[in-house]
Amino acid sequence: MRRMFGFLMGIFVGGLVGAIMALLLAPESGENLRGQLRDRGQGFMNDIRHSADSRRIELRHRLESLRSPRES
């Protein structure tokens, strides 16, 4: 669980650093850039939700298999 938390924190920090660098080095106007960043941020959050849902389903199936009676 710690590895997953560390991984997610790394993704979050990396995204934050990337967003800041994009703001500082962008050749686009502020309004266009904000729109692009908003779209990317929403896509990023959707990816995180999808990954979390997939992992939750996988863990639920594992738990169900561990709880089920074993055949002898």
Per residue, the 3-state secondary structure of the chain, as one string, reads: CHHHHHHHHHHHHHHHHHHHHHHHHCCCCHHHHHHHHHHHHHHHHHHHHHHHHHHHHHHHHHHHHHHCCCCC
pTM of the model: 0.50
- Domain segments of the chain as ranges: 2-67
The percent of residues above 70 in pLDDT, for the chain, comes to: 97
Q: What is the pLDDT of residue 72?
A: 60
Q: What is the pLDDT of residue 71?
A: 72
Q: What is the pLDDT of residues 30-59, one digit of tens each?
A: 788 788 889 998 999 999 999 999 999 999
- Range with lowest mean pLDDT among 12-21, 23-32, 36-45, 61-70: 23-32
Is the predicted pLDDT of residue 2 greater than 80, yes or no? no
Q: What is the distance between the alpha carbons of residues 67 and 54, in angstroms, rounded to a whole number?
A: 20
